[in-house]
Amino acid sequence: MNFQDQFVKNVRLYFKTKGEKWLQQLPSLIHYCEETWSLTIKDPYKLSINFVAPAMAKDGREVVVKICLPGEDFLNEREALQSFNGNAMVKLIDSDKEKGIFILEKLSPGFTLAELKDDREACRLATKILQKLTTPAPNESKLPSTKAREQSLRDIVADHKHSSVITMGTLQKALKIFTHLNQTTTEWQILHGDFHHYNLLYSEDKGWKAIDPKGLIGEREYDLIQFMLNHLPDKGAYEVVANRVDIFIDELNLNKERLILWGYCHTVLATYWSIDDDGTFDKSFHQCIEIFEELYETLYGSISEVARS
């Protein structure tokens, strides 16, 4: 069975020998899905690190099969899907946690929010979805929190894993802001964890829904940062990010200062995560480090003072 070249490259890059073993098992896992749920699996969508494909059940119902590497990330996504329970989120029909399999409802036609040309309208639609996703975090949840993201950045700083892309000073400043925000968070919510244009799909009969939650616990402001980093124009990115901030604040009644601070520290982490072995990185993310710092300093003063507090 031939899989998309970039998909195979991504799996090998991110999961090393474990990913190679999983790729070898994938044809049998696809067959297992067809046998277990009486499905005919069609050609997959454009793949990143999971196998995702539409499928037809014997009764004519269309579903989506998603096969992931079993483990913590799969379990987090499973808990998030169960917590949102189809409320503005794609519905989980069934799963196999040992094999890392989801059977999901199919959203048709399934075009993404990125296909809307009006950025303001896209932002307003995103806020309506996020309002429906708002779910207080239960005490017994096993999902990681934004403190885990802080720890990821702490590990990078401790191991001196910096590069020419991001200075150690920037990493340290972002870490101090991460710590400050986590220590002062008062309302912990179950978050999507990867909320952006390409994870928001339209269904003719169900409207807009989110897909592919990572599952995270934290402040609502944090869940909007990845959206602001995505689908930016080649020119005028500062104005677009500033407009997005204003729309989210107005529509969701959020704390503007905290939103921008989360924007800064998460963007540093997201940019670092995007650095490949060959030194390439996401330039769109990288530019937003300066954008969030400038936004903060225009409104509130030096962002370095927050890091020193």
- pLDDT (tens, 9 = 90+) of the chain, 309 residues, equals 789 999 999 999 889 999 999 999 999 999 999 999 999 999 999 999 999 999 999 999 999 999 999 999 999 999 999 999 888 999 999 999 999 999 999 999 999 999 999 999 999 999 999 999 989 999 889 999 999 999 999 999 998 766 789 999 999 999 999 999 999 999 999 999 999 999 999 999 999 999 999 999 999 999 999 999 999 999 999 999 999 999 999 999 999 999 999 999 999 999 999 988 788 899 999 999 999 999 999 999 999 998 887
pLDDT of residue 134: 87
- The answer to whether residues 223 and 126 belong to one domain is yes
- 95 & 28 share domain: yes
Residue 175, both tokens: 């870490």
Q: Are residues 248 and 178 both part of a single domain?
A: yes
Distance CA 43, CA 129 (A): 29
| pLDDT given at position 276 | 82
Q: Residues 134, 202: one domain?
A: yes
- Examine the fold and report which residue of 51, 73, 105 is the final residue of a domain before the chain moves on: 105
Task: Give yes or no: residues 224 and 153 share one domain.
Answer: yes
Q: Domain total for the chain?
A: 2
Looking at residue 25, which CATH number applies to its domain? 3.30.200.20
Looking at residue 161, its pLDDT comes to 66
73 and 136 housed in the same domain? no
Quick one: which H or E segment has residue 130?
A: helix 119-133
pTM attached to this predicted model: 0.94
Q: How many CA atoms lie within 13 Å of 194's alpha carbon, on the beta-carbon side? A: 12
Q: How far apart are CA 113 and CA 105, in angstroms?
A: 18
* Cβ atoms of residues 37 and 96 within 8 Å: no
Per the structure, the complete domain to which residue 242 belongs is given by 112-305
Residue 210 shares a structural domain with residue 133: yes
Asked if residue 298 and residue 179 are part of one domain, the reply reads yes
Identify the pLDDT of residue 278: 81
**Coil, strand or helix at 41:** strand
Domain CATH number, residue 227: 3.90.1200.10
